[in-house]
Amino acid sequence: MDGNGEKKPAMDVKELLVSLPGKELRLYLARDFEALITDLEDADKVPCWAEVWPAAYGLARYLWEQTPFSPGEEVVELGAGMGLPGIVCALKGARLTLSDFNPQALEMAAVNARANGVEPALLLADWRSFPRGQKFAGILASDILYDPQLNPYLGRIFHEILLPGGRLLISHPQRPVTREFIQDWYNPDLFTAELFHETVVLQESLLPSYAISIHLFTRRAAS
Ligand SMILES: C[S@@+](CC[C@H](N)C(=O)[O-])C[C@H]1O[C@@H](n2cnc3c(N)ncnc32)[C@H](O)[C@@H]1O
């Protein structure tokens, strides 16, 4: 515990401050990303959970400014990694479930949530065997539709766990594979669709800025 009573993460971490208009969030990230790499040949073991990806910053800002969920609505972040968009939703009053298949990711996401005054439910689950019981008013999908082998599982999960009237938010940095998924998956009889854009500028990053697409799908009440 630190002086504020927060539980410290088990791994060696660095602090990351995330600025939103009128609000600063404090996150913890693994200090040594490369030390987490154990087997680059196995896609399941690539520690992509340990970064906050540009799509997560873009979605976080959109959620902070647009507040698409009402207080008390149940929102799940899939492939949450460090959990930034979900934490922002919870700060706006949503009841948050953070989900990932990597236990270290979920532990860090929970630490990050608590560091910002959010107490999330945690769901350790693989998209290939995802529990279908609980339904949500919101699903956050920040840069998780990058693998054509995994995308069909996510497509089914979106249909199965989103309540009628619920909203699915997909953010990505203009990935062709994500666009192709959306083209195949989107059914205008079941969902309405809107598209938003956020420009994300990150210090010490490869590109000067990232153009983030944010797709908002609202499930038709009768579907
Ligand atoms: C590119 S990272 C994105 C992390 C975070 N959403 C962001 O935008 O910063 C992909 C995330 O999906 C998770 N993931 C990958 N494959 C998964 C699977 N089969 N089931 C559940 N989560 C998975 C990873 O652990 C990681 O947290």
Which atom of ligand 1 lies nearest, measured to the CA of 102? 25
Rounded Cα–Cα distance for residues 92 and 136 (Å)? 16
Q: Which residues of the chain have pLDDT under 50?
A: 1-3
pLDDT of 40 reads 80
- Residue listed under structure tokens 């971490």: 13
Output the pLDDT for position 1: 47
Asked whether the beta carbons of 79 and 144 are under 8 A apart, the reply is yes
Radius of gyration of the chain (CA): 17
Left, alpha or beta for 6 (phi > 0: left; psi -120 to 50: alpha)? beta
- Output the ligand 1 site: residues, CB below 6 A: 48-49, 52-53, 55-56, 79-82, 100-102, 105, 126-128, 142-144, 150
What's the pLDDT score for residue 9?
Answer: 67
Output the pLDDT for position 208. 85
pTM over 0.85: yes
Asked if residue 32 lies in contact with residue 57, where contact means CB atoms within 8 angstroms, the answer is: no
pLDDT tens readout for residues 65-91:
999 999 999 999 999 999 999 999 999
> What's the gap in Å between 66 CA and the centre of ligand 1?
24
**Residue 33 confidence (pLDDT):** 79
Closest Cα to residue 191, out of 151, 155, 143? 155
CA distance 195 to 95: 24
CA distance 192 to 86: 22
Report the separation in Å between the CA atom of 209 and the middle of ligand 1, taken as the mean of its atom positions. 22
Domain 13-219 CATH class label: alpha beta
**Strand ranges for 79-146 from DSSP E:** 95-100, 121-124, 136-142
Tokens of 48: 């992509």
